[in-house]
Homo-oligomer: A and B are copies of this chain.
């Protein structure tokens, strides 16, 4: 099994989840080797939480599951790109994606509505 380079950044790689249909960047998280292997085996996005120091499967508590359609790795092998089918909100704040604030002059402007409460 080929793998990204977990040694470069202390055991973790950055993982970007992108909507497989429309190219929208949904969220950015981290994977350790266990999360990576689980994701490959199940085609469900599993990540390592750097704030809680634990593994989590996207959607296990929220129901907003993530089916992984394709996986890419970058030239440096320390970032992986998952093209996914995302149910509901990818962002834990209820937005479809985590990038709902755009720089507008001197402020961040919220440019999306929540898709879940």
A57 within 8 A of B: no
Cα(A71)–Cα(B111), bound, Å: 12
A30 to chain B, nearest CB (A): 10
Residue of B at shortest CB range from A24?
B23
Q: A1-B106, A102-B72 are in contact. Are A25 and B28 (CB under 8 A)?
A: no
Pair A2/B103 contact, Cβ less than 8 Å: yes
Pair B103/A71 contact, Cβ less than 8 Å: yes
Residue of B at shortest CB range from A79?
B28
Cα(A18)–Cα(B75), bound, Å: 16
A1-24 with Cβ < 8 A to chain B: 1-2, 14, 16, 18, 22-24
Enumerate chain A interface residues (CB-CB to B < 8 A): 1-2, 14, 16, 18, 22-25, 27-28, 40, 70-76, 79, 81, 91-93, 95, 98-103, 106-108
